[in-house]
Amino acid sequence: MTYTLTSHQYGKAENHIVRIYRDSPRHEIRDLTVTTAMRGAFEDAYLTGDQSKVLPTDTQKNTAFVYAKQHGGGTVEDYGVALAKHFVDDVEPIHGARVDVVVDDWERVVVDGEEHDHTWVRRGPENRTVTVTVDGKGEEQTVHVGGGIRNLVILKSTGSEFHDFLTDGFTTLEETKDRILATAIDATWGFAATPPDWDVAYAAVRAAVVGTFATLHSLALQQTLWHIGGAVLDAVPEIESISLVAPNKHHFLYDFSRYDTDQENAGEVFHADDRPYGLIEATVTR
Amino acid sequence: MTYTLTSHQYGKAENHIVRIYRDSPRHEIRDLTVTTAMRGAFEDAYLTGDQSKVLPTDTQKNTAFVYAKQHGGGTVEDYGVALAKHFVDDVEPIHGARVDVVVDDWERVVVDGEEHDHTWVRRGPENRTVTVTVDGKGEEQTVHVGGGIRNLVILKSTGSEFHDFLTDGFTTLEETKDRILATAIDATWGFAATPPDWDVAYAAVRAAVVGTFATLHSLALQQTLWHIGGAVLDAVPEIESISLVAPNKHHFLYDFSRYDTDQENAGEVFHADDRPYGLIEATVTR
Amino acid sequence: MTYTLTSHQYGKAENHIVRIYRDSPRHEIRDLTVTTAMRGAFEDAYLTGDQSKVLPTDTQKNTAFVYAKQHGGGTVEDYGVALAKHFVDDVEPIHGARVDVVVDDWERVVVDGEEHDHTWVRRGPENRTVTVTVDGKGEEQTVHVGGGIRNLVILKSTGSEFHDFLTDGFTTLEETKDRILATAIDATWGFAATPPDWDVAYAAVRAAVVGTFATLHSLALQQTLWHIGGAVLDAVPEIESISLVAPNKHHFLYDFSRYDTDQENAGEVFHADDRPYGLIEATVTR
Amino acid sequence: MTYTLTSHQYGKAENHIVRIYRDSPRHEIRDLTVTTAMRGAFEDAYLTGDQSKVLPTDTQKNTAFVYAKQHGGGTVEDYGVALAKHFVDDVEPIHGARVDVVVDDWERVVVDGEEHDHTWVRRGPENRTVTVTVDGKGEEQTVHVGGGIRNLVILKSTGSEFHDFLTDGFTTLEETKDRILATAIDATWGFAATPPDWDVAYAAVRAAVVGTFATLHSLALQQTLWHIGGAVLDAVPEIESISLVAPNKHHFLYDFSRYDTDQENAGEVFHADDRPYGLIEATVTR
């Protein structure tokens, strides 16, 4: 064949690593789902099946687990950078590595009014995410760290309008001055510089997202996303850009006028529909 | 055909009802997924296709939504009882009705240190459940209310052993005096009497489940379930029985001895496996 | 505590076992997800944490895999019976065992018009299921084999009516003489005697389900289920009873009259809705 | 704020449209999940909340359903092009539109040896996908059609090796000359020209994918993907590029040597693991 392998990468997806910190009786837990992806001089593996330059995904898995001990003492971002740099720095054919981490949150339980030393319950559905990309060797190496939040399901029961939109022959939607606005925010952001504290930066982003969604009187989910993006850039000066993907999770007011009832439905009872849903996307850059 | 219709029921599953309480600027939200199931004199619908005694599932849906307003002012249990009794009391061919409710939890957001009036984020993965069963008409009618918790994912990083088990020729499991114990508890319970406050009773059950899991030094998940059951019966005297189903979500210590590393893994790095999983079940009755 | 452990069982869920038969160049594949559950004298494991009578679920897993070789030469039912009997017959504290098997179907691929010797594609979404229950030891032992089909998604575009149903003040559903009828059948059945060939019996059940759904002019999903049950009992005389659970997967005719269009929608364009859905259940017994 | 809205789009996701063709007693069915996404002059909707240039996603939904009748007589690709062009050509602020279609496959049932006129069962898990992108107005307009296959789960029980790979201090994987190779192929491809028949082209792609996977003696999944890409380009000259994403769904030989058994496991019994999995990606271009 005379075709071209125009892009390629390979790695190990969804290593589910639970790290317990037990240096004191009060344990800590970190629950990471880690995906590694390698780019480099692997053309022969594709073209001829020659594996001599391929670090098996099984080895990547082993490394991800060992590094959870060896480089697990700092932040998740530190761990991701150490792991990605290892692949690029220590394995000759690897020219670039990407490490994606999804963090599952555990909440320490309270028993008889006191936080328990070594028991937690899972708290979701939202996840924090971290992405590290290392490209190149030696002096030319670049390291990029990105953050994210996934599936932040949020709803406001008022303070949302939608009207004066464009109409055509297929329009049936009625205008509204008061509706439920609900979404499940997926956001990712990139840093132009390292913030003083990764966890503080994450908390500031989340607070900006939630606070803006709550307090902005919304004329459309588009407008809400734009203001969320701006608030995040305001809150964390090291972030250079944020991308937002947000379904409009429709809550339809249930029409009581069709029934033999004296009940009125003044913005009180809604059918939360599954599909289809609006899908709004925006990237806001400093 | 001369066969027998030995059991039958029908209903509407998974009506996703969101109820907003907006009597004051501080709104409240209740998010219910409601399933209704009817039993009664519907044999003709099966045998001949005669629908004259069948209240369509579409009508059940409409009723579930209207009742969320009309009888939505009290507890979820009140709503379930009103809805189930309506079907049995007001629709002649219906002899029994079951209403299952799955409650999605929303947490009020905090903005600048203050709880927001009308914005929440979803909190999971656990759900509270309520089941109401109404059987019979008039004097002979019985009403049973059950509670439940679904997918309470909980983990302890120490305080769990497993050893001195039965062995045979297929045994390879090693004994352990210290392991992670993790599960996702599904529990359902029945009430012999109405508790003073349904929400207080639920909170007491959850606290008993979580507290026992945390504080009992576990020799097996079986033992933990038994003690959880007892603690729940202790905590809420109106509960007569509780059934527990709990997967043993295995966390395998990652074996570092196979690598060229000086890192040790003293109960610190685990692979959280998906399948297979242990599955332990118990019913504890007063 | 003075409460009672009124029921209990434990086992290993979802062992995903792929068995390859390679005695000839034309391989065969069997893909089984096997769950084992044990009942017996395990009270001490619950009450005191004494594991001396508990065969660990890890051992059950090992056994399920080895038996896939040792007893995997016959039908899935043979395998299930051998595995369940092993636990009860060979492990003293076990008084009863249940083995549930979900079979994933693989279809041999055709290359250049010829069936390939050792390559398949997954075919779903439906699964065949097998359940074996062994209770008691020695002379008193009973062995029950059940079959099932899960998630058989089936749709007919005409030949389905729904009208002359019971109405009340909440009724808004319109009657129809022609609609789409769609469901996802879950069926389980028990055998009073061993059929000559398990696979032939399964094929006969599936043909009866599909054929009845297709050819019966339906006045309601209830009626369809009753006739399916009868047809299955007609087709396989060893089956004594069949239970059917079937969602009514609603397909709503999209209303074109609201638009500026000359298009008509004469039973041609439907919105396939997700939730809520009707849920119809029936058990038909010989 | 002085930030920049660097990219944005919006639309309606997952319109589940079932189209029945009933011009003759032998009906046909087409089951489409349609997502629309618009690009254009919508900045004001983000920056000021002004909706005057926004065609609501509800209207997009209505249009997608009506077009399933009005432009549903040809191929799925024809439908997608008509729908995408409508948005760009007929709605002034829309400069570009993307229509993604996921096709669910239904297989006509056979009753008593004859294909039934109006009943089908769902066949999966794989889906065909179609993507249409229309950019620009009038003379400058470009129309791109892409095809795809999603979740083609395929397995070969022999004819796959993996050895002579790069090793380091974290390597524990053993070399193998005979293993199960299994994956779930996601492929997307773009056309440089319109093929004579879209359905024939799709069938040719699928045959090339399946045939190459089956017949190539594999030295790595990377090599298999490269040869699949080449075979697709060979099979359909109008395709200019194909991207493949393929998890390595690991099947681990179950180690019988640890048990008290005389059974050997000569490539016969495997544990099909869920996570982690290898993930291999490649794009092959003409």
Tell me what the pLDDT averaged over chain B comes to: 97
Which phi and psi angles does D259 have, rounded to 5°? -110, 165
Contacts of D275 in chain B (CB under 8 A): 274
For residue B90, the model assigns a pLDDT of 98
Give D7-54 pLDDT, tens digit per residue: 999 999 999 999 999 999 999 999 999 999 999 999 999 999 999 999
Exposed, middle or buried by CB within 10 Å (0-12, 13-18, 19+), for B43? middle
Question: Which residue in A143, D141, C238, C241 sits closest to B6, CA to CA?
Answer: C241
Confidence of residue B261 (pLDDT cuts 50, 70, 90): confident
As its CATH architecture, domain B10-140 has Roll (3.10)
Flag whether residue B285 sits within 8 Å of chain C, measured between CB atoms: yes
Whether residue A1 is predicted with pLDDT greater than 70 in this model: the reply is: no
pLDDT digit string, tens, across residues A162-192: 999 999 999 999 999 999 999 999 999 999 9
pLDDT band at A2; cut points 50, 70, 90 = confident
Answer left, alpha or beta for residue A14, where phi above 0 means left and psi between -120 and 50 means alpha: left
Tell me the per-residue pLDDT of A205-241, one tens digit each, with 9 for 90 and over. Answer: 999 999 999 999 999 999 999 999 999 999 999 999 9
Per the annotation, does C87 bind a ligand?
no
DSSP structural state of residue A254:
P
CA distances from B274 to B150, B183, D276 (A): 18, 12, 10
Beta bridge partners of B253: B270
DSSP category for residue B176: B
Closest approach of C38 to chain D, Cα-based (Å): 21
Residues A112, B161: contact at Cβ < 8 Å?
Answer: no
Which residues of B are known to be catalytic? 12, 57, 250
pLDDT score of D260: 86
Q: Please report how the helices C221-235 and C198-215 are oriented relative to each other, as an axis angle in degrees rounded to 10.
A: 150
Q: Model pTM?
A: 0.97
Please tell me the predicted confidence (pLDDT) of residue C261.
87
Q: What is the mean pLDDT of chain A?
A: 97
Question: Which residue of chain A comes nearest to D218, CA vs CA?
Answer: A49
| Cβ–Cβ < 8 Å for A235, A205 | yes
Q: Which of residues 149-188 of A touch C (CB under 8 A)?
A: 168-170, 172
Which fold is adopted by the domain D151-285? Urate Oxidase (3.10.270)
Contacts of A261 in chain C (CB under 8 A): 169-170
Q: Tell me the DSSP string of chain C.
A: ---EEEEEEEEEEEEEEEEEE-SSSS-EEEEEEEEEEEEES-HHHHHT---TT---HHHHHHHHHHHHHHT-SS-HHHHHHHHHHHHHHHSTTEEEEEEEEEEEEEEEEEETTEEEEEEEEEEEEEEEEEEEEEESSGGG-EEEEEEEEEEEEEEESSSB-B-S----TT--PPPBSS--EEEEEEEEEEESS--S-HHHHHHHHHHHHHHHHHHS-BS-HHHHHHHHHHHHHHH-TTEEEEEEEEEE--EEEP-GGGSS-----SS-EEEE--SSEEEEEEEEE-
Say yes or no for a CB contact (<8 Å) between C172 and B16: no
pLDDT of residue A184: 98
pLDDT(A260) > 90: no
Structural contact between residues B18 and A180, judged by C-beta atoms closer than 8 angstroms: yes
C residues 59-88 closer than 8 Å to D (CB): 62, 65-66, 68-70, 72
Say whether pLDDT at B168 is over 70: yes
Compute CA distances A66 → B254, B263, C94, whole Å.
8, 7, 40
CB atoms within 10 A of CB D138: 7
3-state helix, strand, coil in chain A (%, to 5): 25, 45, 30
Q: Is the ipTM of this complex over 0.90?
A: yes
Residues of B in contact with A218 (CB under 8 A): none
At D102, which amino acid appears?
A: V
Contact call for residues B181 and B156 (beta carbons, < 8 A): yes
Gap between the Cα atoms of D182 and D152, Å rounded: 10
Residue D261: band (very low, low, confident or very high) from pLDDT cuts 50, 70, 90: confident
Which among B45, B58, B230 has the least Cβ separation from residue C222? B45
Minimal-distance CA residue of chain D relative to A280: D10
Taking a contact as any Cβ pair under 8 Å apart, which residues of chain B between 100 and 159 contact chain C?
none
Picking from B27, D134, B118, D41, the residue whose alpha carbon sits closest to that of residue A222 is D41
- Is-contact C165 B45, C-beta < 8 A? no
Predicted confidence (pLDDT) at residue B269 exceeds the cutoff of 80? yes
Structural domain boundaries in chain B = 10-140, 151-285
The answer on pLDDT for D1 being more than 60 is no
Q: Can you read off the two tokens belonging to residue A228?
A: 């969320």
- Backbone φ and ψ for D121, nearest 5 degrees, come out as -115, 145
Query: Is the pLDDT score of B216 beyond 60?
Result: yes
Spatial separation of the C-alpha atoms in residues B171 and C58, rounded to whole Å = 8
Distance CA A185, CA B46 (A): 46
d(CA A102, CA A104): 7
Task: Please give the average per-residue pLDDT across A237-248, as a whole number.
Answer: 98
> What count of CB pairs under 8 Å joins B to C?
250
Q: Do domains D10-140 and D151-285 have the same CATH topology?
A: yes
D222 is known to lie in a ligand binding site: yes
Tokens linked to C67:
């038996």
Cα–Cα distance between B35 and B87 in angstroms, integer? 13
Measured between CA atoms, the residue of chain A closest to residue D53 is A166
Residue matched to tokens 């029961």: A157
Q: CB within 8 A of C163, min separation 6: which ones?
A: B51, C175, C176, C177
- A210–B121 C-beta distance less than 8 A: yes
**D256 is an annotated ligand-binding site residue:** no
Q: Best residue in A17, A61, A83, A168 to probe D by mutation, most D CBs within 10 Å?
A: A168
Kindly indicate the confidence band of residue B1, based on its pLDDT and cuts at 50, 70 and 90: low
Residues 191..220 of B with a Cβ closer than 8 Å to A: which? Answer: 207, 210-211, 213-215
Q: What does the pLDDT profile of chain C (286 residues) look like in tens digits?
A: 589 999 999 999 999 999 999 999 999 999 999 999 999 999 999 999 999 999 999 999 999 999 999 999 999 999 999 999 999 999 999 999 999 999 999 999 999 999 999 999 999 999 999 999 999 999 999 999 999 999 999 999 999 999 999 999 999 999 999 999 999 999 999 999 999 999 999 999 999 999 999 999 999 999 999 999 999 999 999 999 999 999 999 999 999 999 988 999 999 999 999 999 999 999 999 9
Q: How many CB atoms lie within 10 A of CB B270?
A: 25
CB within 8 Å: A15 and D275: yes
Q: Which residues of A are annotated as a binding site for O2?
A: 57, 248
Other chains touching D, judged by 3 or more CB pairs under 8 Å: A, B, C
A223 SS3 class: helix
- What average pLDDT does range A116-123 have in this prediction? 98
